[in-house]
Amino acid sequence: MTETRHFLEIDDVSTDELHEILDRADEYKRAQHAGEPHEDLEGQTLGMIFQKPSTRTRVSFETGMTQLGGHAVFLGEDDIQLGRGEPLKDTARTLSRYVDAVMARVFKHENIEVLADYSSVPVVNGLTDDAHPCQTLADLQTIRELEGGFEDVQAAWIGDGNNVAQSFAIGCARTDVDLTIATPEGYEVDDDVIERARDLGGDPTTTTDPLEAAADADVIYTDVWISMGQEDERDVRMQAFDGFQVNEELLECAPDASVMHCLPAHRGEEITDAVVESDQSVVFEQAENRLHAQKALLSWLLE
């Protein structure tokens, strides 16, 4: 019997598998733009568990399954027994008998691991507090489109060393993208993530100076300073991240860099409105690629 494949972290796939998924994402994007049908998952169902609300994750996965000829079922925490105390392992084993794959957007990373441990169908991490690998797939697809590949690409992460940053660090290591991470003290990417990146052959540079990170970068990437569930830390975080805004002054260090943001953006905080709306911004191309990359991932897992 074939072992069930899950996608909980970017390094759950090999370098060759990652490039295969990205190639497939490019083909799906080309087919959609050409109006060509690509119903490769006809009759299959994706169960989507949401403990955290979302715009891009829900719409891209649901639309993606429809375009692939399948069906997606939204399962909010209060819509299923999970919200009434059913153990995750029971939810996983039950859903496995109904659907062909499960995507879950949860708080604790250990919860996605439990789902995968007890699921007999593929489980996809739609986001946890530690990782956002589906976002990284779209990020890598975007970088490859912009740069024609990954060779000699210089990327800078500026801001919070959060779940998006951590998955991006692993993704850059997998593709040999040279990454510099600029965070305030106390908001760094976890040490174990840096070690995992180095084990993959990457060598991310860490600094507390955003201008140093941005200098000569091909890609500058940022995310919100205050993520969902951190609202009570707002005053402390706003003070800590002073000087880390991606703005016109910072872009003077990298006048040809493309600016990425996983959205939603808090304009006027981690990034200015002018930068989001500038010619250097690729945030909406990046958002579109969530759809294509996730279709590629699902078809790869379910083929």
**Predicted local confidence at residue 1, as pLDDT:** 45
- Same domain, yes or no: 44 and 115: yes
Any domain includes 70? yes
220 located within any domain? yes
Q: Are residues 43 and 118 in the same domain?
A: yes
Please enumerate, by residue number, every residue annotated as part of a binding site.
Answer: 54-57, 81, 105, 132-135, 163, 223, 227-228, 262-263, 290
pLDDT at 301: 98
Judgement on whether residues 141 and 282 belong to the same structural domain of the protein: yes
152, 125: one domain: no
116 plus 149 within the same structural domain: no
In terms of domains, do 201 and 238 share one?
yes
Query: Do the bridges between strand 178-182 and strand 71-76 make them parallel or antiparallel, or are there none, so unpaired?
Result: unpaired
Residues serving a catalytic function are 105, 132, 135, 223, 262, 290
Backbone angles phi, psi at 55, to 5 degrees: -100, -65
Q: Are residues 52 and 148 in the same domain?
A: no
In a domain, 82, yes or no: yes
Query: Domain limits at 85?
Result: 6-132+290-302
Radius of gyration of the chain, Cα coordinates, nearest whole angstrom: 19
- Domain identity same for 250 and 208: yes
The confidence score (pLDDT) of residue 81 equals 67
In a domain, 1, yes or no: no
Tens digit of each residue's pLDDT, the chain (303 residues): 468 999 999 999 999 999 999 999 999 999 999 999 999 999 999 999 999 889 999 999 999 999 999 999 999 877 776 656 788 899 999 999 999 999 999 999 999 999 999 999 999 999 999 999 999 999 999 999 999 999 999 999 999 999 999 999 999 999 999 999 999 999 999 999 999 999 999 999 999 999 999 999 999 999 999 987 788 999 999 999 999 999 999 999 999 999 999 999 999 999 999 999 999 999 999 999 999 999 999 999 998
Q: Does 164 share its domain with 250?
A: yes
Q: Are residues 128 and 270 in the same domain?
A: no
In this structure, the answer to whether residues 274 and 297 fall within a common structural domain is no
Domain annotation covers residue 213:
yes
pTM over 0.95: yes
Query: Does some domain include residue 171?
Result: yes
Kindly report the CA angle at 139 between 117 and 239, in degrees rounded to 5? 95
Binding residues for L-ornithine: 163, 223, 227-228
CA 220 to chain centre: 16
265/182 same-domain check: yes
pLDDT reported for residue 35: 97
Give the pLDDT of residue 178: 98
Domain count, the chain: 2
Assigned domain for 150 exists: yes
CATH number at residue 59: 3.40.50.1370
Asked if residue 41 belongs to a domain, the reply is yes
Q: Report pLDDT for 86.
A: 84
